[in-house]
Amino acid sequence: MTRFSASKSVRSWGGVLQAPHNVARPGWRSELQRLVLSGRQEGYVLLASGLRRSYGDSGLNPEGGLIDMTGLDRMIALDPASRLMRVEAGTSFDAILKVIVRQGFFLPVTPGTRFVTVGGAIANDVHGKNHHRHGTIGCWVRRLGLVRSDGQELELTPDDASGLFQATIGGLGLTGIITWAEIELIPIQSAMIDAENIPFGDVDEFFSLATESEDDYDYTVSWIDCLSSGERLGRGIFTRGNHASTGSPLPDKGNTRLTMPVSLPGLAMNRYSISAFNALYFWNGQRKSGPLRTGLHPFFYPLDSIGRWNRMYGRKGMYQYQSVVPPAVQKDATRDMLKAISASGQGSFLAVLKTFGHVPSPGLLSFPSPGTTLALDFPNHGDVTLKLMARLDAIVREAGGRLYPAKDGRMSAEMFQAGYPAWQDFAKHVDAGFNSHFWKRVSQA
């Protein structure tokens, strides 16, 4: 029988937060109901865990019971006619792609890493480069299984009258354990992407390219040099693409070539190293601009080319800061954030700027909404980094925007509640037997 065992330290992907947990690793779905009941009898408040790619504390449950779902990674069914795939919640996107691409299908929505589980993707209602076309992953979930703390397993669909389905999509694992899910796939004709890289000189050029590209391209995203200033404020490389109609039907083998063996010294990430990297990256983007045909992995998952890349930020780790601001103020708010970042000298070489579309997100706590999202990684330099993010908070809140819980590790309760007006409706669906460090922090009255 699977039991909980003490683990001295479970660490967030950002590396700033770590704490002891009691971890159980079931290998079969049939174990879950009994495991949940035994955990409750032992006095543990529970939380399901996947590949732990959440940057902050939404995947942490200090001193509680953490149920590692990665052993529940089986594909249950795939119906090519209906394009429906049913898998266990611990199945990774990487494993799914190895099966479905060669059969002419692709995930309808994928984040910037393939090393996430289905359960984690749904619990965070992840988005991708095609949000303006396809919305979030929750838009494509047709049914799912959910085990509650009383041991009861429910089957939920989007037409669930109780609202529990909508609370579970983007619900951060707080409504119970997602055990399996049925997701609709999209058809593709090859495993290649017809893409184009376009350098742009400032924020205005980015928005012009985004508007110009939305109707003709399924996927759009941009890297920006967040340390640029003056007339070059917000310069970057805009990437857009579509699935190619011809080319190899077989997926490339993956692009992980290197692995960071240890954490780098904290001093390696400073204004000068990041500024030099950004200048080199922009120069290289200009040199390689134009159309290109590329594989799925380098297009969708460039960061996966370096295993354990989070170690580059050193032992103190890093914070990821991702916001979305509404269309009416997106230009001014984006400029204000970039000015604050540039002036602080605390840049990021993983800075992403993208416009979200108007496809409604199904979850009560789903992050995406119409407007512009900016995502950045900040090396953890203590108070000076926290003060910068507080300045960004003020800009986002004044703009009527919000932050992404999956990326957050320090958002205040006031900031969360202002950004998610449906949080109290969501709270009615939270299972009392489940909790997280994040929820304890942001659900305070």
Residue 110 — very low, low, confident or very high, per pLDDT cuts 50/70/90? very high
Residue 14 lies in a domain: no
For residues 304-325, give the mean pLDDT: 84
Alpha helices for 42-109 (secondary structure H) = 93-100
Residue 434 lies in a domain: no
Is 272 found in the same domain as 126?
Answer: no
| Per-residue confidence (pLDDT) for residue 390, from 0 to 100 | 97
Is 202 found in the same domain as 168?
Answer: no
End-to-end C-alpha distance for the chain, whole angstroms: 40
CB burial of residue 141 (10 Å; 0-12, 13-18, 19+)? buried
Is 229 found in the same domain as 177?
Answer: no
pLDDT at 170 exceeding the cut of 80:
yes
The total number of structural domains in the chain stands at: 2
Residue 263 — very low, low, confident or very high, per pLDDT cuts 50/70/90? low
Which region holds residue 254: left if phi is over 0, alpha if psi is between -120 and 50, else beta?
left
The number of beta carbons lying within 10 Å of the beta carbon of residue 219 is 22
Is 358 found in the same domain as 337?
Answer: yes
Residue 111 lies in a domain: yes
CA distance 78 to 211: 36
Q: Name, in order, each residue with C-beta under 8 angstroms of 149's C-beta and a sequence gap of 6 or more.
A: 36, 40, 46, 176, 431, 432, 433, 434
What range defines the domain where residue 335 resides? 192-413
Percent of the chain with pLDDT over 90: 76
Residue 393 lies in a domain: yes
Residue 244 lies in a domain: yes
pLDDT at 262 exceeding the cut of 60:
no
Is 296 found in the same domain as 156?
Answer: no
Is 176 found in the same domain as 234?
Answer: no
Residue 287 lies in a domain: yes
Is 245 found in the same domain as 139?
Answer: no
Residue 35 lies in a domain: no
| Per-residue confidence (pLDDT) for residue 144, from 0 to 100 | 98
Q: What is the CATH number of the domain that holds 142?
A: 3.30.465.10
pLDDT at 210 exceeding the cut of 90:
yes
| Per-residue confidence (pLDDT) for residue 23, from 0 to 100 | 93
Tokens of 268: 């390696």
Which DSSP letter does residue 26 get?
-
Q: What is the CATH number of the domain that holds 386?
A: 3.40.462.10
Is 271 found in the same domain as 402?
Answer: yes
Is 370 found in the same domain as 286?
Answer: yes
Alpha-carbon separation of residue 429 from 89, 165, 167 (angstroms): 20, 10, 7
Residues recorded for the chain: 445
Q: Does 338 or 347 have the greater pLDDT score?
A: 338
Mean pLDDT score across all residues of the chain = 92
| Per-residue confidence (pLDDT) for residue 132, from 0 to 100 | 96
| Per-residue confidence (pLDDT) for residue 90, from 0 to 100 | 98
pLDDT at 17 exceeding the cut of 90:
no
pLDDT at 445 exceeding the cut of 70:
no
Q: Name, in order, each residue with C-beta under 8 angstroms of 167's C-beta and a sequence gap of 6 or more.
A: 175, 363, 364, 365, 426, 429, 430
Is 200 found in the same domain as 172?
Answer: no
Is 176 found in the same domain as 217?
Answer: no
Is 106 found in the same domain as 246?
Answer: no
For residues 272-282, give the mean pLDDT: 70
Q: Does 300 or 257 have the greater pLDDT score?
A: 300
